[in-house]
Structures are given as C-alpha cells and as structure tokens.
C-alpha cells in the first residue's frame, strides 16, 4: 500500500530545509510526498536573502486540491510565516477531517531571519497546537511558545507538558541548541503518560541547516507509514543522526544534511548511535 504524506512549508532554494528537505526525506522513507507551499525564500548555506509569502488563498487551494484527491495519512507544517496563513491551514485541516498533524513550529532561521512573524506565534498556539498529534519545537521555539526559559532537562520537560496542556497529544523538545551538552538529547512526552529521552552523540559539525525540518519530516513519514509514536520518534532520531553524521560539505556556511545517509548506513537495521531512556 502506498502511503501519502503532505508538507505545508516554505521553499528553501538551497535545498537543505523547508519543502525540499521534507520531500527528499519522505522519498527516502518510501512515502509519497505532496506539498502546499506557504512562501518562497531565496536562501543558501550563508543565510536567507529574501522571503516572499504566498496569498493564504493559494495555500488553501493547494491543500484542498490534494485532500480532494488523495488519502493523506499524515501532514506536517513547517514555515507558515503569518497568522493569516496559519488560520487558512487550520481551516483546511478541519475541512479534511483533521488528518494526523505534526507541527514543527519553525520561527527563526539559524542566521536570524524571521520565518514566522512575531505576532503569529499566538495563532500557532490557538489554531494549530490543539490539532497536533505531536509538536516538535527546538529550545528557542519551546521558550517562545510556553513563555519559559529552558536551561535543563527539567525545564525541557516543563515546557513539553505545557504544550500538552495547550492541546497537543505529544511534544518533542529537540535539544540540538544545548551546545554545552555532550549529547544531543530530545525529550518526548505524550498525553498517554509516556516520557522518554532520545539521545545520540553530538557530532562536531557546522552543517546543521535543515536538521529540524528533516527530523520532523522523518517523523511524519514514519507516522504516515503506520508506525506509532514514540517508535516513529526513535526512527526520526536515527534518520537525522545519519544525515548529520554523513555530511556532504556543501556550501560555505551552515551546509545541509545528507538525506540519503540513513539508507546508505542501513536504515532501521543500523541500531547503533541512539539511546532511549524512559
Ligand atoms: N550536532 C548534532 N549532532 C547530533 N544531533 C544533532 C546535532 N544538532 C542537532 N541534532 C539533532 O537534530 C535534531 C534537530 O535539532 P535542533 O537543532 O534542536 O532543531 P532545529 O534544527 O529545529 O533548530 C534533533 O534531533 C537534535 O537532537
Ligand atoms: C523555508 C525554510 N523552512 C525552515 C527553515 C528552518 O531550518 P532549520 O530546520 O535548520 O531550523 C529554513 N531555514 N527555511
């Protein structure tokens, strides 16, 4: 059976993040990828040179066209840019009968460009987090969404539980930004009472452009193909570890990850590298 996933996100001309990272990841994991573009960015490994959001009507039309014709097993959101686009996305998801939703609350690019307007964070909390099967912020995004400061694992857990109270069924706080920590550890909690830490060695590299997009796209693909959380989260962690570890050395700035590394290194059979703590 062919599983279909959808990404609602911005285009990254550099190909390492956004729609491009998502579709490459879906393809690698054997899931048919569809998309609704929210914005075009002119971007490379050195930074974001320009952002052109689409009319919210264009986002709605893309989503409705896909939902009218395909059975979509899981949908992820990435860069949404404005509260108007967020509202349009929420309406189309409601109309489509609330498919399984992965919200990656993309806010600020690594170089500092705003991929979500400041005032739109509130719409994300009100309109999309309550529809989310899982929300996957990095540390600064989790701080912004929950109004807390995160310095420790306990702070990560507190923020994750706040996201559950906002209506998400599960939350993963990604620990990539805690560069003082020896390991890259992501904290998972869900509304069924599970709590886990997925962790790997921290790879010394500057090539981490699109790690968040790639992680949440892998999570979406695993969910679309029938895996349950948190097994899908473990798979996504393996996928991103391989993609970072087997870097491509492209560009002069923060280069993209290697979306085909997971298969090259043996996919789910490559059991090394990840630890799961409950
Ligand atoms: N240097 C690294 N080595 C290994 N894993 C990393 C590294 N940096 C980030 N990760 C992992 O990549 C994923 C994305 O992390 P993060 O950088 O926190 O998100 P974002 O890209 O959204 O800012 C997480 O699973 C995180 O643990
Ligand atoms: C179009 C687009 N979407 C998302 C990101 C975030 O990238 P990252 O995954 O590195 O946080 C980006 N730089 N560009």
- Residue 49 CB neighbours (<10 A): 12
Q: Quick check: helix, strand or coil at residue 152?
A: coil
Query: What whole-number distance in Å separates Cα of residue 186 and Cα of residue 270?
Result: 19
* ipTM exceeding cut-off 0.90 for this assembly: yes
Please give the Cα distance from 19 to 10 (Å, whole number). 6
Question: CA angle at residue 153 from 108 to 131, to 5 degrees?
Answer: 55
State whether the beta carbon of 12 lies less than 6 angstroms from ligand 2: yes
pLDDT in tens, the chain (278 residues): 899 999 999 999 999 999 999 999 999 999 999 999 999 999 999 999 999 999 999 999 999 999 999 999 999 999 999 999 999 999 999 999 999 999 999 999 988 889 999 999 999 999 999 999 999 999 999 999 999 999 999 999 999 999 999 999 999 999 999 998 999 999 999 999 999 999 999 999 999 999 999 999 999 999 999 999 999 999 999 999 999 999 999 999 999 999 999 988 776 655 568 999 98
- Phi then psi dihedrals of residue 208, to 5 deg: -125, 20
Q: Ligand 1, from 174, 207, 232: best to mutate by most atoms within 8 Å of Cβ?
A: 174
Tell the residue nearest (CA) to atom 10 of ligand 1: 176
pLDDT of residue 187: 98
Which pLDDT belongs to residue 269? 58
Between the CA of 17 and the centroid of ligand 2 the distance, in Å, is: 5
Q: Which domains does the chain have, with CATH numbers?
A: 4-277 (3.40.1190.20)
Residue 45 has, within 13 A of its CA and on its CB side, a CA count of: 14
**Residue numbers annotated as active site:** 174, 208, 210-213
Q: Which residue spans within the chain are E strands per DSSP?
A: 4-12, 32-44, 47-53, 74-77, 100-103, 134-135, 170-173, 183-190, 195-201, 274-277
Cβ of 16 less than 6 Å from ligand 2: no
Whole-prediction pTM: 0.97
- Tell me the β-bridge partners of 52: 40
262 ligand 1 Cβ < 6 A: no
Q: Cα of 12 to ligand 2 centre, how many Å?
A: 7
Among all bound ligands, the one having the nearest atom to the CA of 104 is 1
Among 106, 212, 218, the mutation site with the greatest number of ligand 2 atoms within 8 A of its Cβ is: 106
Structural contact between residues 41 and 12, judged by C-beta atoms closer than 8 angstroms: yes
């Amino acid at each position: 059976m062919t599983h279909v996933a959808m990404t609602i996100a911005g285009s990254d001309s550099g190909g390492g993040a956004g729609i491009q990272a998502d579709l490459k990841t879906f393809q690698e994991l054997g899931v048919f990828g569809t998309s609704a573009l929210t914005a075009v960015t002119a971007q490379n490994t050195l930074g974001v040179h320009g952002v052109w959001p689409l009319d919210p009507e264009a986002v709605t039309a893309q989503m409705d066209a896909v939902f009218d014709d395909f059975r979509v097993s899981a949908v992820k959101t990435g860069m949404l840019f404005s509260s108007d686009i967020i509202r349009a996305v929420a309406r189309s998801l409601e109309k489509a009968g609330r498919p399984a939703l992965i919200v990656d609350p993309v806010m600020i690019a690594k170089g500092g460009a705003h991929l979500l307007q400041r005032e739109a964070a509130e719409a994300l909390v009100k309109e999309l987090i309550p529809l989310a099967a899982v929300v996957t912020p990095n540390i600064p995004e989790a701080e912004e969404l929950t109004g807390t400061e995160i310095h420790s694992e306990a702070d990560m857990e507190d923020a994750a539980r706040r996201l559950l109270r906002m209506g998400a069924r599960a939350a993963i706080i990604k620990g990539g930004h805690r560069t003082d920590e020896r390991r890259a550890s992501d904290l998972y909690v869900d509304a069924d009472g599970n709590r886990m830490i997925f962790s790997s060695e921290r790879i010394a590299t500057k090539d981490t452009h699109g790690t968040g997009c790639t992680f949440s796209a892998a999570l979406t693909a695993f969910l679309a193909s029938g895996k349950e959380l948190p097994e899908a989260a473990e798979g996504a962690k393996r996928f991103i570890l391989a993609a970072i570890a087997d870097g491509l050395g492209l560009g002069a700035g923060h280069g993209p990850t290697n979306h085909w590394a997971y298969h090259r290194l043996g996919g789910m059979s490559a059991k090394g590298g990840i630890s799961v703590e409950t």
